[in-house]
A and B are shown apart, each in its own frame.
Chain A
Amino acid sequence: MDCLVCHDTTGKYKKPGPDAGMPAKDIDLKLIAQNVGHSSRATCGACHFNGGGGDAVKHADLSRQLLKPNRSCDIHMGGYDFTCTECHETRNHKIAGRSSSVPVVEGKVTCIQCHSEEPHYCGSVLDHHLNNHAKTLDCNVCHSPVFAKCKPTKTWWDWSKAGDKNRKPKKDKFGQPDYDAKKGEFKWEESVVPDYAWDSGYMKRVFIGDKVDMNSDVINLTEPVGSIHDPASKITPFKIMRAVQAVDADNEYFLIPHLWPRNKQDDTAYWKNFDWEKAFQDGMDAVGLEYSGAFKWKETWMYWRLDHEVMPADMALSCVQCHDSLKGDKTCNRCHQDNRDVDFKKIAHKGTDFSFMKSQGRDVEHLIEKTDYINFKALGYKGDPILHGGRFKKLPMGYEKKE
């Protein structure tokens, strides 16, 4: 058991990759042990920032940027200096959190646990509307409208292209490589508009050995369970990791390749021998499932809920950024009596300032002036709910005809 990996406060503890979890040999373990303390963003991040084999690769919303984040990068960890366990409450070493990428849950973490079900109470005339929105929208729909806003994340990983040792990796506009002979072809994105889906908090998953539909173009390894008709489901932002990986053509389950060489004699590891057949045979032996000897490449998607990178409140999406029907309006008189004290432009237009984000070097030019941000039709609405009604609420009689 390794206590120091989570309880180091010196930042000096190191574990070199392949050495079966043993700490580096050249570090002062006594000094580290004498300075133990609570876990921190640095200790949790040592693993969780590096998911997928590198900084920000897997989790779009977790990267080394969160060690000392800018407030726009993450309002909780930047400025308020939250540690991970302030939200991911820990009891008896069980850490709360409902990951979408893995099935294990030891307690859930929600925004509501601190912010309540009526999180808007600043005294604005909008509070009422925003709290109504909170019944249908996950907080991060408005409060974190782009993911990987601090650091590019991998969004496409084609394993089928791996193995070409002559192919030179090209750097993309973020300076990230598009290829690695061991891993295949990649795409990286920064400040990305999430995919939105109805989510009840439950996930559907494909496990090792589960039969999959070979005729389907895309197989979802994880996908949220939710419906526009379920009052408990909310529109929720996701990063979808899109990839191409191997399925056993006869057994119709996913194949696990043996990647890391065990030692110098290893002659099956893909990262040493570049032979998928051997790597699949060894990998499937390890999990105790038959490999038929025939495989097919399949596109797979994994939905990862975006829960971090919450932006400051004044950078949340505005009414107009989703409801294009309000774009031409000058007052709230579509539904309310006019009141000269209400500054419509200020409350309905001022939202996420993508021009500012662009000036800070973020890749968001195409989002300036964007409206219908979450794509109502794709979520099952007839269109902008202001014109067509919400999922449960009908509009006042005859209102539809006005438009």
Chain B
Amino acid sequence: MIKKIVFFSSLVLLTSGLCRAEVWKAPDQERAKERSKQVVPFIKEYKDDHKIARKMSLMDAGISLNDVQDVYFLMDSPIIKDREDHYGPVRFSHKRHANLAKDCSKCHHFRPKDEAALETTRCSACHQDAFNPEYPERIGLKAAYHQQCIQCHQEQAKGPVDCKGCHLQNVPDHKQLVQLPDNPDPFQVTAECLRCHDAQAEDMLTTAHWLWKGPSPYTTGHGKEVMHGKGTTALNNY
């Protein structure tokens, strides 16, 4: 019996060891993935507070940073994705933004009319499909995100305001796009890439990864020079 227990417990230990060897998944990342897939019921009516009144009522309700349960979101809603799918999910650190803004009403600008509902709701509860004829005044989720993020980033002069600052663009499938004979030589491959990506190739020619030199603004005594780098003057000891 004891032998059996030892055998089974060592089996458990062994398998738990194996499980640990698996790639660790960040719990909040997994939660964020789940959350990003959800579509919540549409809130038809909201309480049309003035923004000052809204701010006060949130503050009076004592809602603070400590109430922020969801720290981290991935913005990847099917509401937008079903219509167009050009970009990967956007990482959004909710609590950090809450901490910076120190005013929940900046984003949670209205609340549901239903008094029983929570004080704050997610963006996609009120903003869903664009151009919903029943709610023509309500902007869609994509517009809501963009207006909210970009406007505040511009006002604060902080945070990205261009597409690539937040989004990673999906790469289109190149299986049909790339036209190469079998066993091409490396120069044929580059020529084929450049057939469409000529501008990118021109950009590449100006970079440190091509020139092996470039501006050295953070090197004292050489802050205004552009010729230092591994290809020219840099020294090392390895």
Contact = CB atoms under 8 A, between A and B. Distances in A.
Interface of A: 1-4, 22-23, 28-30, 33-38, 51-53, 57-58, 68, 70-71, 75, 78-81, 86, 89, 91-95, 98, 101-106, 114-116, 118-119, 121-123, 154, 157, 159, 201-209, 221, 225, 241, 243, 245, 254, 300-302
22 contacts: A22-B186, A29-B180, A30-B178, A37-B171, A71-B24, A79-B25, A81-B29, A95-B207, A103-B218, A103-B222, A104-B229, A105-B216, A105-B218, A116-B99, A123-B65, A204-B220, A207-B222, A207-B234, A208-B234, A208-B235, A254-B235, A302-B237
Contact of B237 (A35, A204, A245): A245
Contacts of A98: 218
A162 to B, nearest CB: 13
Contacts of B190: 1-3
A50 to B, nearest CB: 12
B100 A157 contact: no
A79 B180 CA distance: 37
B183 to A, nearest CB: 7
B215 A23 contact: no
Interface of B: 23-26, 29, 65-66, 91, 93, 95-96, 98-100, 164-165, 168, 171, 174-175, 178, 180-186, 189-190, 192-194, 197, 200-201, 203-210, 213-222, 228-230, 232-238
Given A29-B184, A29-B186, A114-B93, A91 B164 contact: yes
B235 A58 contact: no
Contacts of B96: 114-116, 119, 121
B219 A206 contact: no
A86 B229 CA distance: 24
Given A3-B189, A92-B203, A95-B208, 9 more contacts: A3-B197, A34-B178, A52-B238, A94-B206, A105-B217, A114-B93, A118-B99, A206-B235, A207-B222
A207 B235 contact: yes
A112 B193 CA distance: 36
3 tightest A-B CB contacts, nearest first: A79-B26, A243-B237, A103-B216
Which of A34, A35, A57 has the most chain B CB within a 10 Å cutoff? A34
Contacts, number: 185
Given A34-B174, A106-B207, A300-B237, A201 B218 contact: yes
B209 A95 contact: yes
Given A38-B168, A103-B216, A241 B237 contact: yes
Contacts of A105: 214-218
Contacts of B189: 3-4, 29-30, 33
B186 A71 contact: no
Contacts of A89: 164-165
Contact of A3 (B66, B168, B193, B214): B193
A58 B234 CA distance: 15
A247 B169 CA distance: 49
Nearest to B226: A104
Contact of A121 (B26, B95, B168): B95
Nearest to A120: B99
B234 A35 contact: no
A29 B190 CA distance: 10
B100 A116 contact: yes
